[in-house]
Structure 1
Amino acid sequence: MKTQRGDIPRRLDTPDPAIRFYLFHGADEASSRSHATRLLKAFGAAKDAMEGGAIKSDPAKLADEANALSMFGGAKAIWIEPAADEIVAGVEALLEAPGAEHPTIAIAGALRKTSKLLKATEASPHALAHISYAPEGREYENIIEQLCREHGLAPAPGVVSRIAGMTANNRELARQEVEKYALYLGSGESDPVPLEDDVVDRLGAGTGDVAFFGLGDRAMVGDIAAVQEGVDAMSANGSEAITILRAMQRRIVMLAPMQARVAAGEPASAVISSMGRALFWKDKPVVTEMLMRWSAPRLARLGERITDLERRMMFTQLPAKSAIGEELLAVARIAQSARRR
């Protein structure tokens, strides 16, 4: 069966005993993995990894493993990642079996509507399929706020937005960040501990893909040299591209209402000052610069271009590194030539 987005928390926290196969799919694999981990916890089960290739070569193997005794006698859940149509024969055999002692959890990326695996899952009363869309804007910040509450943290104004920007809509990365701060501060659920900017400065994500999340900022202030240097430093396959685009989208969403106030006659400096701690102090100079270079119509067009580029990267074979490089350089040139207020 197919589950609805609002129904997924209940499905994960109180699993239906009749469901023996769970398929989490969609472009946001981090969210799919987070859902699967939450389900695993609800089952109180140990992860028993199984490769799709093994199921393809022996479709009966999945049903056999789902009914086999756990090596250590406890609960287990079969975990298949990545999952694709190659496992559909094994899944069909599992769903047609009289029952299953252990659940199976499969994580796939984006699947077409014509996917045999997706169709088989949605058609069975013993299976559940859920598509993961990346949370955005306030929805994503709500997720981070909930994570902070669960880990006994009371974030200062602006801190949640900073974590959201650093983790670029990656729910799993956000969870890791919050857990890191909670461990450092020794927080507890009964007495929330303040999470201030200085802790984020000291411990915040700064390696891997998230190190590139500020590259869009450099493009939006017209720093062509920094953009070129950043693009050159990217991996060959451009795996950081979506991180950069998501960060730019968040920046555009933040700038739009501020730019409306500037267009109405308020000085950019006054708009920045009115933001208080909701805007991290280190970001104030670059945000001021953006307000001077990006009018509301230009911001709207940029948002459309960024969204379109992300969509094409996710659903086509567009070369990510060259595509993001060309876009960032184009943005930087526009910003550099923009008439300053």
Structure 2
Amino acid sequence: MKANANQIRAAIDAASPDIRLFLLHGPDEAGAQDLAIRLARKMGPEAERVDLEPSTLKANPGRLADEAASLSLFGGARHIRISGAGEESLEAFTLLLDTERAGNPVVAIAPSLKGTAKVVKLAQGSPRAMAFACYVPEGAEADRIVSTIARELGMRTTGDTATRLASASGGDRAVMTRELEKLSLYLDAAPDRPREIDDAALDAIGADLGDAEMSRAIDAAIEGQPDLVGSELARLEEAGVSPIPVLRQLARRLISLADLRAQVDAGAGVAQVTESVFFREKAITARALRHWRSDKLAEAIGRVRHAERAMMGSATAGAVLAKAAIVAVGRMAARQR
């Protein structure tokens, strides 16, 4: 079935055996990862997590149904996660939904799939699956998400604090959650002892990710200035700003560029396709479209997403992986100029 935000969160929290597959598709990979983490928390700290690669499912489609029906080695809870899923997983998902028994829930993160994809249509048409489109929230929707996450942590936003947090996180659900978790610790908040978030609390924990500073680093990467990227990332580090939200905003810019580049490849003019671009980004977008090729944009997006997925693991280099990926994109752009 096709789910909205409330439905997918409620279903994940219920962890009902009736839903075998949670398909999280669309460009907001960070939001999808956050929902996958939510399921892992619901399953419990002792639950066994099985990670499967899309290439494995393509070579052996029956593996997913087998894993979903298998018991944990120690008899406890078990769940399955697939990152970077695409149309190659269609047969595996079909077998999973058609099998008689599957006791372990599957979360598939599919950032490259659009609503018209066969895999998405399969999940939308099955009562045993939920398909949720993950898009970067903006405006009132972003504020609402901040307020919802805050409420779950025992806090209530006041004044324009929801807007400040949404803006500071760039609409990234994962960053919103981390900032709100820091706030809950600072305020000693919990559902049984609610607290209010005010401007003083935000100022105290420094919940300001420096939008202008992040934009400079992203612009340098898009323009092909790796040396400037390095200096901008160093300046962000001195200001206490993590490179991780920079990486995620860079991914969004690259995806937007790829869509515009596809229109140029189809015969549209650069001036024509940049008419709808935010006026502050028009000039740099036009320049980028003149030297970035579609195949290189796809490669850059893949590199950034790979870095983000790598950061989600335990005991990873974290910020170092983000910095390396951002600089690598800058070098890719420089080679095309």
TM-score, with length taken from structure 1? 0.60
- In 2: Cα distance, 1:307 partner to 1:148 partner: 35
DSSP 3-state at the match of 1:78: strand
- Aligned counterpart, 2:194: 192
* 1:214 and 2:212 aligned: yes
- In 1: Cα distance, 2:116 partner to 2:157 partner: 44
- In 1: Cα distance, 2:174 partner to 2:245 partner: 17
- In 2: Cα distance, 1:56 partner to 1:201 partner: 49
What are structure 2's unaligned runs of at least 5 residues?
217-225, 234-243, 254-274, 302-325, 331-337
What are structure 1's unaligned runs of at least 5 residues?
219-227, 248-299, 326-341
Cα pair 1:216 1:244 within 8 Å, conserved: no
Q: 1:232: how far off?
A: 6.4
**Rg larger in 1 or in 2?**
1
* 1:60 and 2:62 aligned: yes
- Aligned counterpart, 1:258: none
TM-score, with length taken from structure 2? 0.61
Q: 1:103: how far off?
A: 1.6
Amino acid at match of 1:243: Q
Find the partner of 1:146 among 145, 148, 151. Answer: 148
1:110–1:13: structure 2 CA closer, same or farther, 3 Å change rule? same
- In 1: Cα distance, 2:252 partner to 2:54 partner: 31
The CA deviation string for residues 233-257 of structure 1, in whole angstroms up to 9 with x for no partner, is 468xx9938738999xxxxxxxxxx
Q: 1:214: how far off?
A: 2.0
The CA deviation string for residues 236-279 of structure 1, in whole angstroms up to 9 with x for no partner, is xx9938738999xxxxxxxxxxxxxxxxxxxxxxxxxxxxxxxx
- Aligned counterpart, 1:171: 173
- Aligned counterpart, 2:8: 8
DSSP 3-state at the match of 1:191: coil
Cα pair 2:25 2:114 within 8 Å, conserved: no
Cα pair 1:63 1:100 within 8 Å, conserved: yes
The CA deviation string for residues 268-307 of structure 1, in whole angstroms up to 9 with x for no partner, is xxxxxxxxxxxxxxxxxxxxxxxxxxxxxxxx98746759
DSSP 3-state at the match of 2:49: strand
Q: 1:26: how far off?
A: 0.5
- Aligned counterpart, 2:163: 161
- In 2: Cα distance, 1:15 partner to 1:173 partner: 24
- Aligned counterpart, 2:25: 25
The CA deviation string for residues 161-190 of structure 1, in whole angstroms up to 9 with x for no partner, is 221121010111101111012113322333
1:163–1:230: structure 2 CA closer, same or farther, 3 Å change rule? farther
* 1:240 and 2:238 aligned: no
- Aligned counterpart, 2:307: none
Cα pair 1:67 1:100 within 8 Å, conserved: yes
State the identity as a percent: 32
1:156–1:111: structure 2 CA closer, same or farther, 3 Å change rule? same
Cα pair 1:55 1:87 within 8 Å, conserved: yes
Amino acid at match of 1:91: F
The CA deviation string for residues 69-128 of structure 1, in whole angstroms up to 9 with x for no partner, is 112211211111121222222222222222212121111103145534223323433222
Amino acid at match of 1:86: E
Q: Judge which range, 171-180 or 190-199, deviates more.
A: 190-199
Amino acid at match of 1:93: L
- In 2: Cα distance, 1:239 partner to 1:21 partner: 28
DSSP 3-state at the match of 1:107: strand
Q: Judge which range, 141-150 or 116-125, deviates more.
A: 116-125
Q: 1:134: how far off?
A: 1.8
Amino acid at match of 2:37: T
1:198–1:46: structure 2 CA closer, same or farther, 3 Å change rule? farther
- Aligned counterpart, 2:34: 34
- In 2: Cα distance, 1:25 partner to 1:188 partner: 31
- In 1: Cα distance, 2:168 partner to 2:63 partner: 42
Q: Detail structure 1 runs of 4+ shifted over 6 Å in the superposition.
A: 244-247
Query: For the aligned residues, what is the CA RMSD?
Result: 4.2
DSSP 3-state at the match of 1:19: coil
- Aligned counterpart, 2:99: 97
Cα pair 1:216 1:245 within 8 Å, conserved: no
Q: 1:156: how far off?
A: 4.9
1:10–1:316: structure 2 CA closer, same or farther, 3 Å change rule? farther
Summarize the alignment of residues 1-341 of structure 1 with structure 2, pairs less than 5 Å apart: 1-5=1-5, 7-42=7-42, 46-113=48-115, 115-204=117-206, 210-211=209-210, 213-215=211-213, 233=231, 240=246, 243=249, 303=278, 318=297
- In 2: Cα distance, 1:102 partner to 1:245 partner: 32
Count of residues paired in the alignment: 257
